[in-house]
Structure 1
Amino acid sequence: MQHVTIPQDRIGVLIGEGGATMREIESRAEVRLNIDSETGSVEVESVGDPITALNGPDIVRAIGRGFAPEDALTLLEDDLTMFDLLDLDKATRNKRDLKRKKGRLIGENGRTRQLMEELSGAKVVIYGSTLGIIGTPEQVEAVRSATDMILDGAPHGAVYSFLERKHNEMKSETLGYHEFGAGER
């Protein structure tokens, strides 16, 4: 059994209308969720396949950090899909600096965050003082690197070029893999 604490304003999303989201998570991840809506504490208990249930806490954490339930549930679709969380507070000096850097990560009308998603193939959410990523290890690493570049003050153009390069590398690796079949390279 694991305990996860999520922000109070995300408890409703975790439970869903009439408990639908909670029941779907419990069924698909083979866990039982015991949610304390007063404190935001969520007990995640394995009730089925222990390997499948390992994703339960990350699904709850991802929803707690701003992901839509359907995006969080993609953690069950593939063994390589992972959830990663970056603490933006560690890269900032104060609240004003955090606000400025979050603004740079989001971009005008959300464009930078959107490009991170499109070019990496990962899902990216900025919520509070965190940046959450759901994707394959390679996708997560591309978003992490782009985030570090932006936090370090790199121009957006340089970050977009980096992401474009990563996108093309990942695309050609995927094509090579499908073209020649697994293990025939």
Structure 2
Amino acid sequence: MRTFFIDKIPRIIKSKKQLEKKLKVKIINKGKQIYVSGKAEDEYVAEKVLDALDFGFALKIAMLIKDEDFELEIIPIKNYTKKTDLRRIRARIIGEGGKTLKTFTELTNCFFEIKDNYVSILGHPEEIEKAYEAIIQLIRGSKHANVYKYLEQHRPEPVLDLGLKIKIKK
């Protein structure tokens, strides 16, 4: 049995039955404490999904963690800057009207959420690496254009299968 402290408890309670069914665990809540019991692997996945929900990800997006190819990465902003003006740094990451986060989502195929002084990234490990580096560049003061250029240069090439090759079955 694992215990968690969740800030956004109403989100968890609202989708408790769905979470229990899809994650194959039993969820008990007492105040801001959540108890999760089940198999060890299921508890681990439930912990990651609950973290994602607590950060503000939608249930549908948070459940992507159940797929083994998706991970949740959390970046503490304070670890990468000595500046005390964290509000300005958060504003740089979000962008005007959420434009920067939207652009990051399009360029990296990852999902982003900001909570307090943390940025969370949900996506495939290879894509998270690039997104992580881009967020750190922004925190350290790089221009937005330079960060976008970095992401565009490190974008994976799309694999185009035109179906022209003959597949031989063994």
TM interval, short-chain normalised: 0.7 to 0.9
TM-score, length-normalised on structure 1?
0.81
**Structure 1 residue ranges without an equivalent (≥5):** 181-185
Q: How many percent identity over aligned positions?
A: 23
Equivalent-residue separation in structure 1 for 2:129 and 2:48 (angstroms): 18
Gaps of 5+ in 2: 166-170
* Residue 178 of structure 1: how far off its partner (Å): 9.3
Separation in 1, partners of 2:13, 2:162: 39
Q: Given that residues 6 and 65 in structure 1 are in contact (C-alpha distance below 8 angstroms), is that contact kept between their aligned partners in structure 2?
A: no
Retained in 2: the 8 A contact 1:85–1:131? yes
Q: Distance in 1 between matches of 2:30 and 2:93?
A: 33
Q: Distance in 2 between the 1:178 and 1:56 partners?
A: 39
- Structure 1 residue aligned with 2:168: none
Which amino acid counterpart does residue 157 of structure 2 have in structure 1? K
Show structure 1 runs of 4+ deviating over 4 A. 176-180
Asked whether the equivalents of residues 120 and 166 of structure 1 are also in contact (C-alpha less than 8 Å), the reply is no
- What's the TM-score, normalizing by structure 2? 0.87
- Residue identity opposite 1:85 in structure 2: I
Q: Supply the distance in 1 between the matched residues of 2:25 and 2:48 (Cα, whole angstroms).
A: 12
The AA in structure 1 aligned to 2:2 is Q
Counterpart in the other structure of 2:34: 42
Within 1, Cα distance between the matches of 2:17 and 2:58?
A: 15
What is the one-letter code of the residue matched to 1:14?
Answer: I
Q: Does 1:86 align with 2:75?
A: yes
Count how many residue pairs are aligned between Structure 1 and Structure 2. Answer: 164
Deviations 1:11-51 (A, max 9, x none): 111111xxxx11111111111111122xx22112115xx43
Give the superposition deviation at 1:153: 0.8
User: Aligned residue for 1:58?
Assistant: 48
Q: In structure 2, what is the Cα distance between the partners aligned to 1:56 and 1:92?
A: 32
Q: Deviations over 1:127-173 (max 9, x none)?
A: 11111111110111111000010011110000011111222xx233x
Larger C-alpha radius of gyration, 1 or 2? 2
Match of residue 171 from structure 1: 157
Q: What is the root-mean-square deviation in Å for CA atoms of aligned residues?
A: 2.0
Point out the structure with the larger helix share: 1
Call closer, same or farther: CA 1:103–1:178 in 2, change over 3 Å.
Answer: farther
